[in-house]
Amino acid sequence: MNWLWAIIVGLVLGVLARAIIPGRQRIPLWLTVIFGILGAILGNAVAAWAGVYQTRGFDWLRHGLQLGGAVLIVALGSPLWASLRGSRRRERP
């Protein structure tokens, strides 16, 4: 069940990150989910480092850090994906 939640959270964070970043990101949905999951992991690591990993109630700061991590991963991963896809298409005859 934890994997299902990870996929759902990754989807939500990835879609929100794509909506926040200006312009169009030409990445598939499965990569959006992976980038969202990686952003959540990055945000949780930063929250643990900052000492706000566990709080009472809703963890606004931790979830904000997760979204920030997803925005960072999507912003860096989209051009990388586009360059990989572009170079792969140029190699084909």
d(CA 31, CA 10) in angstroms, rounded, equals 10
Amino acid found at 25: Q
Q: What is the pLDDT along the chain (93 residues), one digit of tens a residue?
A: 688 988 999 999 999 999 999 988 889 999 999 999 999 999 989 988 988 866 677 778 888 999 999 999 999 999 999 898 875 555 555
pTM over cut 0.95? no
Domain assignments of the chain as residue spans, ordered by start: 2-84
In sequence order, the 6+-apart residues with CB closer than 8 A to the CB of 86 are none
